[in-house]
Amino acid sequence: MQLSCSLTITLACSSLYLANAFMHAFFFSKHNPAKRPGQQTVLILISRMSFGLPTSALVCFWLALWICFWEMARAPLWKPRNSPLAIDNYGCVEMCGGGFRTWYHLGVYWGLYDRFGKDGMSTMRFSGSSVGALVATVAACGVHPADIWAHIPAIANSYRETFLSHVTGVGQFCRFLLHSTLPPDAHLLVNGRLFISVSSLFPTPFNRIISEFDSRQDLIDAVIAAQYIPTWTYPGICFYRGMICVDGGVTNNLPNICVHSLRVGLDKDDTFTWNADFVPSQPLSRLNTFIPAQEASLQRMLDCGKDDINDWLNTCRGISFIQELSAVWKSCQNTCSLK
């Protein structure tokens, strides 16, 4: 009798937990805040951590299992997929993930925006993984970099000053950023021009590249799936298009879309691991992936991105990139004139 009662209680608690996980994944986690999220109370933080950690442990175990398997098979799960997704050379820009350090990519985008303008950006293709997918998305939409940067210092300051109060809330900050800056027709602007790396966990971990989006909400959901870290982004499970997802960087941190693309890394080893064309000339510590640097360092990182892309555009590879982009731009103009 006592065993039966214990089993019943265990099953009831497990059912409630699973129901909560699914409800959270399908409803709360997909809410787009209209204003910047505030601090969590200690009670909410404890409850969300308690709710999220069991799921995180299961996800980590599943990933670790397959990472070890593929390492032993000498085919690492993270190994770069270098087969281009697009046949033509289209002025492609590819951005890796890297948490709060990824705002370096915003500086790179800003340099490109200043050089080619919004019309020039509209002829480019972009790919990204993790937070790099967020920057790639706003770039593909032609959002002015200043509109994004206007939010970054305040968000970074929130994490620096009250780090624990914002753990489990990264997803909401990113949703707020996207929801407040993307145009209403964002999904139409990026279809076929934006390639987002997502890692699906089942039946075994594998990479999916998403390049077509049904709606603005679907686009935002894809970006969140591309950077989902259990409990850190939000507690529970990340569902996207029938997949249980984690950060795209687990299986493909720098998705390759063109043969002659601009590949932007964040660490020195990205130049040989991912064939990155360049990395920050003034890099931040890897610790700043999860803990934002001070505002002066963030500004320096942004400026570094602008300087590095301008320097690269003066190299042989950069000149070829400009020529390819110019050819595409002329082709687009000719097509428009014929219409």
Name the active-site residue from 129, 130, 158, 199. 130
pLDDT on residue 79: 72
Is 109 or 82 the better-scoring residue by pLDDT?
Answer: 109
Average pLDDT over residues 3-13: 67
114 is catalytic: no
Instruction: Sketch the domain layout of the chain as residue ranges.
Output: 31-333
Q: Which residues of 196-209 are buried (b: 16+ CB within 10 A; e: fewer)?
A: bbbbbbeeebebbb
Average pLDDT over residues 84-109: 84
Average pLDDT over residues 215-240: 90
Is 315 or 326 the better-scoring residue by pLDDT?
Answer: 315
Average pLDDT over residues 106-129: 93
308 is catalytic: no
pTM for the full predicted model: 0.89
Pick 31-333's CATH classification: 1.10.3470, 3.40.50, 1.10.287, 3.40.1090: 3.40.1090
One-letter-per-residue 3-state SS of the chain: CHHHHHHHHHHHHHHHHHHHHHHHHHCHHHCCCCCCCCCCCHHHHHHHHHHHHHHHHHHHHHHHHHHHHHHHCCCCCCCCCCCCCCCCCCCEEEECCCHHHHHHHHHHHHHHHHHHHHHHHCCCEEEEECHHHHHHHHHHHCCCHHHHHCCHHHHHHHHHHCHHHHCCCHHHHHHHHHHHHCCCCHHHHHCCCEEEEEEECCCCCEEEEECCCCCHHHHHHHHHHHCCCECCCECCCCEECCEEEECHHHCCCCCCCCCCCEEECCCCCHHHHCCCCECCCCCCCHHHHCCCCCHHHHHHHHHHHHHHHHHHHCCHHHHHHHHHHHHHHHHHHHHHHHC
Average pLDDT over residues 93-102: 91
Average pLDDT over residues 55-72: 89
Name the active-site residue from 221, 247, 270, 308. 247
Average pLDDT over residues 243-256: 91
Q: Which of 39-48, 112-121, 197-206, 271-280 has the lowest mean pLDDT?
A: 39-48
Question: Is a pLDDT exceeding 90 seen at residue 106?
Answer: yes
